[in-house]
Each structure stands twice: as structure tokens, then as C-alpha cells.
Amino acid sequence: MSLDQVNAGAPALEEARRQLEICNACRYCEGYCAVFPAMTRQKAFADGDLTQLANLCHNCRGCYYACQYTEPHEFALNLPAALADVRVESWERYAWPTGLAPMFQRNGLAIAMAVIAGFALLFAAVAALPGGGEGFYAYLSHGAMVAIFLPAFVFPMVAIGIALRRYWADVGGKALRASDVTGALHDAGRMKNLDGGQGQGCNFEDGDRFSNARRIAHQLILYGFLLCFASTSVATLMHYLMGWEAPYGFWTPPKMLGVPGGILLVAGVLWMASLKVKADHDLGAKNVAGGEIWFYIVLLVVAASGLLLYALGGTGAVAVMLPLHLGSVLTFFLLMPYSKMVHGFFRLAALMRDRQDKG
């Protein structure tokens, strides 16, 4: 990490340190989420401690609305925003190759749309060549899809793995136990830290009331994505182990997983986007709204184009929808290490690290 990167992250870290020291003295919000019990285990906050707490924070904002030291008090606490700034800065600092994440966070929408259009045109050109298969493979052979998408899947996994290794070293992570992993997966699957500490939900979209809307929208996106990934995985196993090649009918595992997954993704993304519009932007990370917008748009295009591709199967519209879908999927995976998607990996790592501190 260069000196410029250290200096760029210093203001966010120092502000988060100032606010957490006040919070640690007050402890009014101790039962709100995992951040506050973890905070009380520290007497002083090293940079790695701040990074860990920031990635453990789910930005539910309940602590802000309960706090007596927000503006106009002279302490001017805004812990959700302070931790959000550190969280985003950590993703950018750990990202590999270094330097790409800030560019995508701040100019992501234009870049993503350009990349989708470019890939879609490329796939359209390839699809115009004579094909030799059925269904989608009449436009693009199975071998060509594997040759394109296998590296596009491996690269982001390697990049995210390198980023997580850097994170783990900075936050003092230890050798993982099975209980660390299973406990963190359980908490992440339930979105435990979005329940406000008492199960009533958080104050994300409306500071005057508690709501589980954001928690449910998160779960729709998470499980929709997992179902779509499972659909692709099952189709791969069916192709190579059973010799059962696409196209698949509706009452087959790939479609029984993929269609509901796509519907959940579309519903979750639209719901989450509406909650983001209602939320107070001053309680989140500054200057990265474009990064969140492009992430949601790309995810929406992936899910919606996949559903339309299935619905329009057997028609001439496939020649148009297939390049758009494949282009958006390829863009999503290649840009994943530098998008909002990476927060899920870091949050899971933070939950595992928190489990270690709890013993």
C-alpha cells in the first residue's frame, strides 16, 4: 500500500476513531447491533480495529436516531456515516489490482453501461456466425461460453480472495474454526444485524419508525442470487456428468432454481433501490452514490434480461436478448471486486472475525 493511499484513508479513520471513543464512553447503544459489543472489548482503536468495526456495521442507523450527541451537539456524532466512509475506503484500499475500485465507485454507472454495451455488441457479432447447437447454443456454442465465462468467473474470485487476505491480516484474523464459519453464515443468512437488536428492524428509510423492509429486501437479493448461482451450477453438472444438455424445460432443476431466483432478484433490487431513495444520504458513505446505483442497475439488468430470455425462448427476440444478458452477466462478474457486491464478502469476513473475539 502506497503512502498516498494511507494519507487518503487517514481522515476517515481519525474521524471514526474520535466518534467511537465517545461512543465507548457512553455505551447507550450497546444492544443495537454487533458493532457495540465489539467496540466495548477495546480500550483503544488501532486502524485495523476501526476497519473491522466498519465492516461489521450494517448501516441500520438506529444508533444515530437514538444518539443524544448528534448535531447540533458539539460532538456532532454521525457514526453510520463515519463507519461507512471507513468501510468503503477499506474496500478500495484492499482491492486488487490496486486503483480500480475508486474509479468504479465514482464513475461506475457510465463505465458499467459502456462495458455492457461493448460486450453485448461483441456477443451479437459472434452470434451472427453460423451455430451448431440448439436453443442458446444455436447463437453461441457451449465451448465458446465456457472459454469466455470461466476466466471471467475465476478472475474476480482471485481478486476478492487477495483483498480478503489483506483485510484478514490488517484486522488480526486468526486461523478459522468451523464454528466461526457456520456462525457467521447463520448470522448473514438471517441478516441478524439488521433487526435493530430487538427484532423490530432498523431505521434506514425512516428515522421515526422501525422497519424490517431493508432486511427483507437484502434477503430477497441474497437468496435470489444464490438460487441463480445454484441454477447455473446444477446445469453445469447435468451437462458434464449426465450428458443432459440445454435447452432445459421448466420442470427441470436449472429452471426451477433460476426462474424463482431471477424473480426474487428483480423484486429485491427494486425494493432496495426504493429504500435507498427514501433514506437520508447524509448517513451513508460520501461520494459513492454512483457506485451503488450502477451496481443495482447491472444486477437488475442481469436478472430481468435472464427472465425475458427464458420467456422469449424460441422467438427471434433471443438474438437480441441473449447478447444483452451475456454482456450484463460478464460485466457483473468482471466488475464484482470493485462494486458494492464485494461488501457481502467483507461483511462475512467481519462476522467471522467477530466470532473469534467472542471466543
Per-residue pLDDT, 186: 94
Tens of pLDDT, residues 19-51: 999 999 999 988 788 899 999 998 899 999 999
The alpha carbon dihedral of 163, 167, 170, 173 has a sign of: negative
Contacts of 19 (CB under 8 A, 6+ apart): 75, 77, 78, 79, 82
pTM reported for the whole predicted model? 0.88
The alpha carbon dihedral of 261, 266, 270, 273 has a sign of: positive
| Nearest CA among 160, 163, 36, 105 for reference residue 284 | 105
And the C-alpha cell for 103?
474509479
pLDDT bucket at 7, cuts 50 / 70 / 90: very low
- For residue 279, the number of C-alpha atoms closer than 13 Å in the C-beta half-sphere is 26
Residue 52 amino acid letter: Q
**Has residue 2 got a pLDDT over 50?**
no
Tens of pLDDT, residues 71-101: 999 999 999 999 999 999 999 999 998 877 7
Residue 332 amino acid letter: F
pLDDT bucket at 120, cuts 50 / 70 / 90: confident
pLDDT bucket at 316, cuts 50 / 70 / 90: confident
Average pLDDT over residues 113-125: 77
Tens of pLDDT, residues 251-270: 999 999 999 999 999 999 99
Tens of pLDDT, residues 199-223: 678 888 777 788 899 999 999 999 9
